[in-house]
Amino acid sequence: TTQYKCSLKFGSDALGELCCKVSGGWLDLCSSHGVLEGDRAKFSVAHYFASNVMYVCIYPRINVDTYLKRSVVEL
Confidence class of residue 11 from pLDDT cuts 50, 70 and 90? very high
Dist CA 41 CA 45 (whole Å): 13
Confidence at residue 3, expressed as pLDDT on a 0 to 100 scale: 85
pTM listed for this prediction: 0.56
Contacts with 63 (C-beta within 8 Å, 6 or more apart), sequence order: none
In our burial notation (b when 16+ CB lie closer than 10 A, e otherwise), range 34-59 reads: ebeeeeeeeeeeeeeeeeeeeeeeee
For the chain, the domains span 6-74
Quote the pLDDT of residue 54.
81
- pLDDT tens digits, 18-70: 888 888 888 888 888 888 888 888 888 877 777 778 888 887 766 555 555 55
Beta partners for 19? 11
